[in-house]
Every structure is written in C-alpha cells, then in structure tokens.
A and B are shown apart, each in its own frame.
Chain A
Amino acid sequence: MSEEIQTEKKRIKSYFIVFGFLVILALVNVAVSYLHLGGMNIAAGLVIAGVQALLALGILMHIFWEKKTIHHLIGLAILFVLALFLLLVASYFDSIGK
C-alpha cells in the first residue's frame, strides 16, 4: 500500500502537466479554426483533439499503467468504431444504383 501511495504522489505532477497541455491545445484549436486552411482546418482540429484525447486517456484515465485486460477492452471498442466509420465511408462512396 505504501508503495502505491508513493507512486500516486509522483503522478500528481504529471496530472497538472497534462492539465497545462490540455488548456494550451484547446487554445491552439480555437486559433486554428480562424486560419484559412481550407479542408485542412477540420483535419488539424481533429488531430489536436486526438492528442488531447490521448493525454486524457493515457494519464488521467491511467491507461498507460493499466492491465492488459483494459487495453484489450479499449482496443475492441476502437476496432468497432473504426468498423462503423468504414461502413459509413463505404456507403457514402457506394456507386451501385447511381
């Protein structure tokens, strides 16, 4: 237990570093939305949001230190969402009947 407490004490600093990054990235995302980059605007916005999500998942939700069972569960969820998006893209570009 005391080892667990020591580990937690060390992690507190990383929580606040992540907080700083999340705030900065949110501001960057807003700034990017006012630039005229054409179709790249939304791509840049989603990449920035993706980095924010990774930081929140990895550090705040402890994914980087979690057991394999959790990694497998998350992997499965991401796989299903990707399959959902793939179906969407496939249906959008489907030319049958056009």
Chain B
Amino acid sequence: MEIPYTVTARPDTGLYNAKVGIWLFLASEVMLFGGLFSAYIFLRLGATHWPHHILNVPMGLFNTMVLISSSITMVMAWSSLKMRQFSNYRKWLGITLFCGVLFLSVKSVEYKDKFHHYGIILNSGQEITGHLAMTEEEAIHSDVLKIKPDPENAGDFLFQLKSIFSKPEGEEKVLEIPKKEIRWWSNFVPKYNTYLATYFTMTGIHALHILGGLLVLGYFWGPGAALYRTNPEHLANRVEVAGLFWHFVDLVWIFLFPTLYLF
C-alpha cells in the first residue's frame, strides 16, 4: 500500500503529511524546552547567588556561529534539492554534518574543562574556585588541598579567549588549604550548584537533539539519498522535514547561549 500525500499536498491542509507531523512534533518540543526554561527562571529567581561569565564565552560564541552556519547550509541543501542540483545538495548537507560534529566536539571540550575545574567552600562560607595543583586521587586522600585559584579577571572575554589556546596566566600561586578548614569541595559537576545542574541538564538535552539530528541527516546524506533517482521531490520533502528539526535545535541554542553563558 502506498502512503498518501508524501509528495503532493492534502487538499484540506494544503500540506504534505510529514510537514504537519514535524510541526506537531516541534510543538511538543516547544513544551519540553519551555518546561526547562521555566524551571531555569524559577531556580534563578529563588537563588541567592547566580554565577556570571563562569562558562567560556568565546567558546560558546564560536559554537553559536557554528550552529548558525549549519542552519544556512541546511536550508541551502534543501534548496539545492528543489532546484535538482544533487551534487550541491550533498556538498551543503556534508557541511551541515561537519558543523554538527564540530559543535558536539567543542561542547565535549567545554564539559571536560568543567570536570577539571574545582570549587571549595570554606567553613567561613567563602568560595575559592580554580584548578587542583595535585591529582584528584591525591586530593581525596590528602589532609591538605592544593589549588591554583582563578584570577580576578577569569570572567573577562580576552582572558577566556587566551585560556583556550594556552595555560591561563595568574594561576601560578598555589593555595594550600587544610581540609579541616573546608566545609565542602567538588569539581564543576551538576551537584556543585543549581546553576551547573541547570547548565548540564539543558545543554545535555540539547546535545542529544543535535546527535539525533546528525543521525537523520547522515542517513539522508548517505543511503537515504538513493531516493533521488526515483522520486527527487519526495527526498526534498524528507530533507525539508529534517531541516525544520535542525533549525529548531539551532533556535533553542539561540536562547540557551544568552541565558547560560552571558547573563
């Protein structure tokens, strides 16, 4: 049995079925991320302290540029299919896939950086953040924590930019803090504070969406592209639907970037 309205529009909606389907799905996705953003607002309003510029802004900006570029290459891939330019379609979709992989790679570097960044809460309530001057294993068993504290200008754009390519300056001083003076210490993982829990939850779910999008787009770049020989318009419709999902993921990042990295 042939599935109806995969190429031609249904008379009542004026659209092919998959397009209605993807928009219904995206509407449910709006609710998913809407729920996460409302949780973010609620937690932020109730927080006594909310960190500012502790994430690497240049890296986040770079990833924003990567996703914006991938949105354009995605729409160009679909546009090429509509104009029956198959080699251009493969080229633009290939760049989109590259951008998606690049985004996830940068994200994993950011995550790794956070896993090696530590915070110490002293008995007085004072917080010291920085990088350990000893291995984690040594830190667990030692009576003293050795930490290179973050400099005052750790939130500056230029400092963060330099720290991507070289060892951060101003981290030479090593503090030795006896554990009896420490109330709590941990690396920057979700349990560290509400902000990081929110950051990892929201960006983690977003990254899973990128991964899902890459799998689908990878299929249409590879084996799925064979449909072009028999029904190019059907392939164009499939790519349009996958593209709408990709743009939506980009759109979510457009809001994640300022809320988590900038303000």
A-to-B contact residues, CB < 8 Å: 4-5, 8-9, 11-12, 15-16, 18-19, 22-23, 26-27, 29-30, 32-34, 41-42, 45-46, 48-49, 52-53, 56-57, 60-61, 67-70, 73-74, 76-78, 80-81, 84-85, 88, 92
Contact = CB atoms under 8 A, between A and B. Distances in A.
Contact of B157 (A34, A74, A78): A34
B254 to A, nearest CB: 5
B244 A61 contact: yes
A91 B177 CA distance: 43
B227 interface: no
A69 B69 contact: no
A2 B130 CA distance: 61
Interface residues of B, number: 46
Chain B interface main SS type: helix
B26 A84 contact: no
Interface of B: 13-15, 19-20, 23-24, 26-27, 30-31, 34-35, 38, 41-42, 45, 53, 57, 61, 64-65, 68-69, 71-72, 74-76, 79, 82-84, 157, 244, 247-248, 250-251, 254-255, 257-259, 262-263
B99 to A, nearest CB: 13
Contacts, number: 123
Nearest to B52: A33
A53 to B, nearest CB: 5
B27 A74 contact: yes
Contact of B247 (A11, A42, A56): A56
Nearest to A73: B23
Contact of A77 (B26, B42, B65, B254): B26
A16 B72 contact: yes
